[in-house]
Amino acid sequence: MATTLIQLPIGTYESVVEPDWCPGCGDFGVLKALKIAAGKLGIHPHEIVLVSGIGCSSNLPGFIHAYGVHSLHGRAVAVAEGVKLGNHALHVVVTGGDGDGYGIGIGHFIHAMRRNIDITYVVMNNQIYGLTTGQASPTTMKEVRTKSTPRGNVEMPINPLALAMVAGATYVARAFSGEPDHMADLIAGGISHRGFALIDVFSPCVTYNHINTYPWFKQRVYKLEKESGYDASNAQQALQKSFEWGDRIPLGLFFKDEQPIYEDSEPALRKGPLARQRLGLSQEVFDGLVGEMI
């Protein structure tokens, strides 16, 4: 019997807390796109949990009506894996920035991808450290002058899309905050995909990055779905496209593959979400364990 999808209005996810990002910040577009995506999929607030680390973008879970965890710097993916294994019936979405995810958190990022754990990672990539006021990040372009690189950045920037593909991610996409509806479709695709999904988002920092601005991207970005002959199931073609940078920069779904997910390999999850399984403990023993942890 076919399942009927009932879309939910964007107001379903409105938080009582207003975003405090700088006016014009690209993260506003990501927040909107995430709400649209959840609504399109008919996901109720109690069915989704957002996990973040530290940074301007990592404040996002506080600005949406859903479960949320504001965790430690660089540890969002690890926390999200724990949430997913504790209750794999939840839709688990990680939101963070390029510094948090591709810098201090890169180890967790790589290992979650090779496990193909079923979580969605939305990275607001503004190519700068915004919260700490403008230092070079792992994705800052070479020769760019920042607070920490006054003579120009000498380090090669990370290519998150290529890294994701070779590390085992099974859904790899790129979006742009200037096009939230297109981004919403990519995020919805990532959430509904079974496996690790990365959506890297060009999310301009209007305060500290005056190079990679909205106009800079609008002059360069184009959509892969409009490219004749592009096949997102072709890993070699996707990897080649991930290195395209300069006058033309691609957006859209780069790569998608169906592979077994980590959760299917864990026998303990076959009886249902761990959070709903019986512990087999007496009330006395349970109370004692809880008491030790408080």
Residue spans of the chain under pLDDT 70? 1-5
Task: Check residue 159 and give its pLDDT.
Answer: 98
Q: What angle do CA 170, 158, 119 make, to 5 degrees?
A: 30
Task: Check residue 115 and give its pLDDT.
Answer: 97
Per the domain annotation, does 192 fall within a domain?
A: yes
Per the domain annotation, does 270 fall within a domain?
A: yes
**In sequence order, what are the beta bridge partners of 223?**
251
Under 8 Å between Cβ of 108 and 77:
yes
Task: Check residue 62 and give its pLDDT.
Answer: 96
Under 8 Å between Cβ of 204 and 214:
yes
Per the domain annotation, does 13 fall within a domain?
A: no
Q: Decide: helix, strand or coil at residue 84.
A: helix
Per the domain annotation, does 2 fall within a domain?
A: no
> Structurally, how many domains does the chain consist of?
1
CATH number at residue 78: 3.40.50.970
Strand extents, DSSP E, the chain: 48-52, 67-70, 91-97, 120-125, 171-176, 197-202, 221-223, 249-256
Task: Check residue 4 and give its pLDDT.
Answer: 66
45: nearest Cα among 24, 15, 19: 15
- Spatial separation of the C-alpha atoms in residues 136 and 155, rounded to whole Å: 9
- Spatial separation of the C-alpha atoms in residues 199 and 83, rounded to whole Å: 20
Per the domain annotation, does 1 fall within a domain?
A: no
Give the residue numbers spanning the domain of 154: 19-293
Task: Check residue 3 and give its pLDDT.
Answer: 59
174 backbone φψ class: left, alpha, beta (φ>0; ψ -120 to 50): beta
Per the domain annotation, does 190 fall within a domain?
A: yes
Q: What angle do CA 262, 265, 271 make, to 5 degrees?
A: 110
Per the domain annotation, does 7 fall within a domain?
A: no
For residue range 252-279, list pLDDT tens digits in order.
999 999 999 999 999 999 889 999 888 8
Q: Decide: helix, strand or coil at residue 45.
A: helix
Per the domain annotation, does 109 fall within a domain?
A: yes
Strand order in the sheet with 171-176: 67-70, 48-52, 91-97, 120-125, 197-202, 171-176, 249-256, 221-223
Q: Which residue has the tokens 């709903």?
A: 276
